[in-house]
């Protein structure tokens, strides 16, 4: 769920020669697009395809192919140019980096699905087709705040998993790619680690509790919160080897919330301690934290160009 930035009033927008009309809910005079042709599902023709779609809407945007070794400089320059909206057609990590650097004061960010998991783009646009997401943002988008969280300087906008089940992420990706042997190897490694990497967690300065993992979900994709008042937190416990296997399988094949061992609650701050470095997955990206981590809710992390949500149906 995103938090609407403004009560946008439709403004007249000129149609392009192709007949596609720009959104009336945002001013889009200066558009920039970062394109990583080597990422996920992007491909070498993506920059030209982006330019063609922009032309449909009468736009001559700045399309910037990202070059190896120059990512940081190119991202920084794109933000310094202060476009009305900066589209990012790249992997999950790059999209998160750009959103994090833009922050509250930067331009609107529109992360298109160009990676493998595409957690943030799917949450914002509901599709894994970057062309469809781009057209939707241009034709229906409005500025909205996106909330999220931070873990020891690492931002996330969809979900964070801390603890042994985070080690299932590589197995899950290998399985999706059809690499069954590698998926099995990753799975065995994660299963073994699950019995030696327990955490202690505290939610909103509450008592410490033992856990197999700590999971935090942003309001944008939470099914438990109607308003962005905090992160949906779950402390996953593990009492037996059978439970450990069940949690692992749930992480691989299903929705972890469906597991009977999982209970959730809203929080604004959480802490986790481990005996050694804590494995974590933030918006699909694997990171290693220290033996202690603090997670804090960010109510307004960055502005996104997102389709205007449908009006709620009256219950009267």
Instruction: List, run by run, the mean pLDDT of 10-residue segments along the chain (316 residues).
Output: 47 50 95 92 92 95 94 96 97 92 96 89 92 96 95 93 77 65 67 66 94 88 77 77 54 61 85 91 86 96 88 47
DSSP conformation class of 254? S
Location of each CATH 2.60.200 domain in the chain = 159-282
The set of residues, in sequence order, having a beta carbon less than 8 Å from that of 156 and lying 6+ positions away, is 96, 148, 149, 150, 216, 218, 282, 283
The pLDDT score that the predictor gives to residue 197 is 61
pLDDT computed for residue 22 by the predictor:
95
Determine how β-strand 264-267 pairs with β-strand 199-203.
Answer: unpaired
Does this model's pTM top 0.75? yes
Give the pLDDT of residue 237: 75
Residue 255 has a CB neighbour count (10 Å cut-off) of 10
CATH 2.30.29 fits 159-282, yes or no: no
> Whose structure tokens read 């804090």?
296
Q: Packing angle between helix 180-193 and helix 241-253, nearest 10 degrees?
A: 140
49-102 pLDDT, tens digit each: 999 999 999 998 999 999 999 999 999 999 999 999 999 999 888 999 999 999
Cβ-based neighbour number of residue 82 at 10 Å: 11
CB 86 within 8 A of CB 108: yes
- Sign, CA dihedral 30-36-42-43, equals positive
228's enclosing H/E stretch is none
Q: How many CA atoms lie within 13 A of 196 on its CB side?
A: 7
Q: Are the CB atoms for 47 and 37 separated by under 8 Å? A: yes
Output phi, psi for 4, to 5 deg. -60, 135
- Taken in order 298, 299, 304, 306, is the CA torsion positive or negative? positive
In the chain, the N- to C-terminal Cα span, in Å, equals 24
Q: Output the CA torsion sign for 258, 191, 277, 209.
A: positive
CB 295 within 8 A of CB 269: yes
What are the Cα distances from residue 131, in Å, to 7, 125, 142, 208, 239? 27, 11, 18, 46, 46
Helix or strand (DSSP H, E) at 165: none
CATH architecture entry for 3-146+302-307: 3-Layer(aba) Sandwich (3.40)
CATH 3.40.50.10330 residue ranges for the chain: 3-146+302-307
């Amino acid at each position: 769920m995103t938090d609407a930035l403004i009560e946008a009033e439709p403004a007249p927008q000129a149609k392009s020669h192709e007949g596609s009309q720009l959104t009336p809910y945002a001013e889009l005079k200066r558009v920039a697009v970062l394109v990583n042709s080597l990422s996920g599902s992007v491909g070498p023709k993506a920059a030209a395809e982006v330019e063609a779609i922009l032309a449909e809407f009468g736009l001559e945007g700045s399309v910037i192919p990202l070059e190896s070794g120059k990512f940081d400089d190119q991202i920084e320059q794109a933000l310094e140019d202060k476009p009305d909206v900066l589209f990012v057609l790249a992997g999950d990590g790059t999209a998160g980096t750009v959103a994090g650097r833009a922050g509250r004061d930067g331009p609107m960010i529109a992360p298109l699905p160009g990676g493998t998991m595409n957690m943030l783009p799917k949450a914002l646009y509901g599709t894994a087709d970057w062309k469809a997401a781009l057209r939707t943002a241009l034709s229906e988008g409005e500025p909205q705040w996106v909330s999220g969280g931070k873990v020891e300087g690492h931002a996330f906008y969809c979900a964070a998993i801390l603890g042994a089940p985070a080690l299932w992420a590589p197995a899950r990706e290998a399985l999706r790619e059809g690499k069954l042997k590698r998926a099995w190897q990753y799975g065995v490694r994660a299963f073994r680690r699950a019995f030696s990497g327990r955490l202690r967690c505290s939610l909103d300065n509450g008592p410490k509790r033992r856990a197999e993992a700590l999971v935090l979900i942003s309001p944008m994709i939470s099914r438990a919160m109607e308003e962005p008042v905090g992160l949906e937190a779950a402390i996953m416990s593990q009492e037996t080897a059978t439970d450990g296997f069940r949690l692992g399988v749930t992480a691989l094949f299903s929705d972890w919330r469906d597991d009977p061992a999982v209970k959730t609650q809203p929080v604004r701050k959480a802490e986790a301690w481990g005996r050694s470095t804590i494995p974590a997955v933030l918006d699909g990206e694997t990171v290693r934290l220290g033996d202690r981590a603090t997670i804090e809710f960010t109510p307004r992390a960055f502005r996104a160009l997102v389709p205007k949500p449908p009006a709620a149906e009256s219950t009267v």
